[in-house]
Structure 1
Amino acid sequence: MAEILEPALDKARATAALTPPARQLHRWVLTVFIDTGHAPPRADLERMARDHGVDPAAALSELTTRDVLAVDEQGEIRAAYPFSPTPTRHRVTWDGGTGVHAMCAIDALGISAMLSVPVTVTSTEPDTNHEVTVQVDHNTARWHPTTAVVFAGTTAGACCPSVDRTCGHINFYTTADAAHDWATRHPEVTGVVLDQAQALTCGIAEFGALIRPLDQPAGEDIGR
């Protein structure tokens, strides 16, 4: 049975370690998601990089090696944490925005702090499809149902990107018992149950400062 504690975080550290050219390209990719709800095609990404004096192959290699982006065999984006280019069970919307799909529950919870706007997360519990909604305003949140939690699971080691080993197993559950029951039925997934405060703290720590200006030191949390 999963115990309640916080999982290891890595996206904030990985982003902070990027070279300036890779970080510039990464920030542009995230901005496209925010503005359109979709991933930029590889051709647009490469053109943007060249227009700004960035070697697209080198920058993209750095981004995927550090697992802040994941691409398919054609080089098209399949994950730009916290955003997913394809529908997931986690939909995030905000006033005046197009809305996005998040890669996982923790990613979804960090988007309000990242954008500095209130958001609504609408998700479903695995197996039952019971709805969980969370209204997040940076570091505060209202959960429905009020008993909801997050289970953060993984199926493999660090040899493959997060999209393959963790994202599909970090989900909202209507109760801690529901999360424990799911984990018991899926012994191939190891993980932890996070209460609401823990899950929100993880999301903010991972993504709250992800699109800060390129000249702002790591650790200073601003929005877009």
Structure 2
Amino acid sequence: MTLGPTNLNLNKACAAVALSPAARAVHRWVLRVFAETGRAPSRADLERKAREHTATSGVDHGAVVAELVDRDVLAVDERGEIRAAYPFSPAPTRHRVTWESGTTVDAMCAVDALGMSAMLGVPVTITSTEPGNDHTVTVHVDRDTARWEPNTAVVFAGQAGDACCPSVDSTCGHINFFTTPDAAHDWAARNPGITGVVLDQDQALAGGIAEFGALLQETGDE
């Protein structure tokens, strides 16, 4: 991950574009399942879908899953079950996202949550908590516009450990909403092992859209 004072690059958009056609189709299927059910597909279902997209190509279905993991658009545990399908988290996080259909999901991080409306094409409501005190931040996002409560809220985008690790391990837990810039700076000062920057509302929303907004666009591969 590359962090700068005015930009955020989590590399998910670039990674998705670089996927093979079969991997790209499986990736979008995983995201759609998550959006429709609020849950990750099982390992068995993931492997079945990968087989469907490699049945006539001679490519081993395991290579498709490995490609998704290598590109870090998915992360799996030691059993092969999905533990991250950015922007969605199978496990509870600080960042709950809801929309009109009644679906509720957890986002991997604050920026992931902010990108969901553009990706899904529907307005969403994000309810999150500030690290250290659990003060609530709510953001109503309609694609490229957002209303923040409180209106002083920001995002701290941080990283701990090796940047080459999967995002679920190195960054996701450290990209959070804060009620004010001062609260974000104070938290960062108390956690010197985490490096990062404070993003204002426009920067954080733009980062989410850039990373996730195009992930479900059809390209004829499916």
TM (norm. structure 2) is: 0.93
Corresponding residue of 1:52:
53
2:164 corresponds in structure 1 to 159
Paired residue secondary structure (1:75)? coil
Q: What SS does the corresponding residue of 2:122 show, helix, strand or coil?
A: coil
How do 1:109-188 and structure 2 match up within 5 A?
A: 109-188=114-193
Deviation (angstroms), 1:49:
1.9
Task: Return the match for 1:62 from 53, 58, 67.
Answer: 67
Where does residue 10 of structure 2 map in the other structure?
Answer: 9
Tell me how far apart the structure 1 counterparts of residues 54 and 82 of structure 2 sit (CA, whole Å).
21
Amino acid at match of 1:148: A
Between 141-150 and 39-48, the greater mean CA deviation after superposition:
39-48
Shift of 1:157: 2.7
Identity of aligned residues (%): 67
Contact 1:105 1:170 in 2 (8 A): yes
Instruction: Give the whole-Å Cα distance in 2 for the aligned partners of 1:214 and 1:25.
Output: 13
1:105 aligns with 2:106: no
2:169 maps to amino acid: D
Residue range with higher mean Cα deviation, 168-177 or 42-51: 42-51
Question: How much is the aligned-residue C-alpha RMSD, in angstroms?
Answer: 1.5
Conservation of the 8 A alpha-carbon contact between 1:45 and 1:56: no
Assess if the C-alpha contact under 8 Å between 1:88 and 1:101 holds in 2: yes
Equivalent residue in structure 1 for 2:195, among 185, 190, 206: 190
Find the counterpart in structure 1 of residue 209 from structure 2: 204
* Distance across 1 between alignment mates of 2:124 and 2:31: 17
**Secondary structure in structure 1 of the residue aligned to 2:6:** coil
Question: Which runs of 5 or more structure 1 residues have no equivalent in the other structure?
Answer: 217-224
In the comparison of the two structures, how many residue pairs are matched? 215
What is the identity, as a one-letter code, of the residue corresponding to 2:36?
Answer: D
- Which residue matches 2:22? 21
AA aligned opposite 1:14: A
Rounded Cα–Cα distance in structure 1 between residues aligned with 2:96 and 2:185: 24
The answer to whether the 8 A contact 1:151-1:169 is kept is yes
Shift of 1:50: 1.6
Q: Residue by residue, what CA displacement relative to the aligned partner does 1:13-40 show, whole Å, maximum 9, x if unpaired?
A: 0000000000011011111100100001
Q: Would you say 1:40 and 2:45 are equivalent positions?
A: no
Q: Tell me, what secondary structure is at the counterpart of 1:192?
A: strand
Q: Structure 1 stretch 173-182 or stretch 156-165: which is displaced more?
A: 156-165
Counterpart of 1:135 in 2: which secondary structure? strand
After TM superposition, give the deviation of residue 3 of structure 1 in Å.
8.1
Q: What amino acid sits opposite 2:144 in the alignment?
A: N
TM-score by length of 1: 0.92
Contact 2:50 2:62 (C-alpha < 8 Å) held by counterparts: no
Alpha-carbon separation, structure 2, partners of 1:23 and 1:3: 29
Structure 1 position 99, deviation (Å): 1.5
Q: Does 1:85 align with 2:90?
A: yes
Per the alignment, in what secondary structure is the counterpart of residue 48 of structure 1?
helix
Equivalents in 1 of 2:164, 2:122: separation in Å?
35
Q: Which amino acid aligns with 2:12?
A: K
Contact 1:120–1:133 (Cα < 8 Å) also in 2:
yes
Query: What SS does structure 2 have at the residue aligned with 1:45?
Result: helix
* Local SS of the residue matching 2:8: coil
Letter in 1 for 2:33: V
> After alignment, is 48-57 or 21-30 more displaced?
48-57
In structure 1, give the amino acid aligned to 2:128: S
